[in-house]
Structure 1
Amino acid sequence: MTSVASVLERRFITLEDVRKVLSISNSQAYALVRSGDLRAIQIGGRCQWRIEAAELEAYIQRSYFEPCPDS
């Protein structure tokens, strides 16, 4: 099992890693990327999403100051 700390030591992480760090579902992680709220790149022949760990941290910091849409 991969710890959150070891995940964030890598430059690029997967949507599964994002899901684990934020404790959200796969569909929620995918929605963050597709909406542009969490910047990501697609790589490889299957165009798999990768998120720079710094982008995830920036998203987390922005989230402290932005209210949820339904609040």
Structure 2
Amino acid sequence: MLYIFGGLECDLDMHVLDDDDVPIEGLYVAGNSMGRRFLVEKPVVVAGLSLATATSFGRLAGANAAKGV
């Protein structure tokens, strides 16, 4: 239920971005290791919030990886 601040930067297709904000082909991120989830800072303390984002963005990353997006 806990998570880290920061994390790997990604685009809307969940590709990890390099230092120049260019997607790294074949590398996806979701869950606690994903950056930019809350834009600035955590909005509220809610138990399970990390689980919901991991599930949602994990599904998106998996679907994109399967399609080769």
Same fold (TM over 0.5): no
Q: RCO higher in 1 or 2 (8 Å CA, sep ≥ 6)?
A: 2
Which TM-score band applies after superposition, normalised by the shorter structure?
0.3 to 0.5
Normalising by structure 1, what TM-score? 0.33
Higher helix share: 1
